Amino acid sequence: MLIHIDYNGSEPICDQVVGQIKLMVVSGRLKPGEKLPSIRRLAEELKINPTTVSRIYTQLAQEGVVALRQGQGAFVTDGPARLAPEVIREEIGTLARQLLVEGLRHRLTIEQIGEIVQEEYQKIEGGTA
């Protein structure tokens, strides 16, 4: 699955894995309908507890990234339930504000921040083809 875990950092393991799987879905490296490794298999591969993987998959399911089917496994969905547009606007706005505050704090200009967003977008979409 090409997931890298930093076991010593302060970010919880489950957040790290959830983030990387979301990225793989958005970038197209994991496609709708595709099957993820089983809980036990991924736990072995990442050397973490199966219960932790279970929690990761459950969280992804709640965010609409995957669907869990008993006896079959975890499958990538074709997108999350649509939230009201103003809810999405608020959520993304909060993330944008955090990005701006940290960027400006470190003496970047709005243009430089915009460039970084574009560069990261290219990296993500590069995997879609």
DSSP letter at 4 equals -
Q: What is the smallest separation between the CB atom of 35 and DNA, expressed in angstroms?
A: 8
Q: Collapse the DSSP code of 69 into the 3-class scheme (helix H, G, I; strand E, B; otherwise coil) and give the result.
A: strand
3 contact choice in a copy of itself, DNA, none (CB below 5 to 8 Å, kind-dependent): none
Residues within window 66-95 making contact with DNA, judged by CB under 7 A: 68-74
Q: What is the smallest separation between the CB atom of 77 and DNA, expressed in angstroms?
A: 14
Q: Using the rule CB under 8 A, is 101 a contact of a copy of itself?
A: yes
Q: Whose Cβ is closer to DNA: residue 50's or residue 103's?
A: 50
* Segment interacting with DNA (CB under 7 A) among 8-16, 77-85, 95-103, 114-122: 8-16
Q: Using the rule CB under 8 A, is 31 a contact of a copy of itself?
A: no
Can you name the residues that pair with 73 across neighbouring β-strands?
69
Please give the torsion angle defined by the CA atoms of residues 106, 108, 114 and 116, in that order, rounded to the nearest 10 degrees. -60
Beta carbons of 48 and 7 less than 8 angstroms apart: no
Q: Whose Cβ is closer to DNA: residue 15's or residue 119's?
A: 15
Among residues 48, 49, 44, 81, the alpha carbon closest in space to that of 62 is found at 81
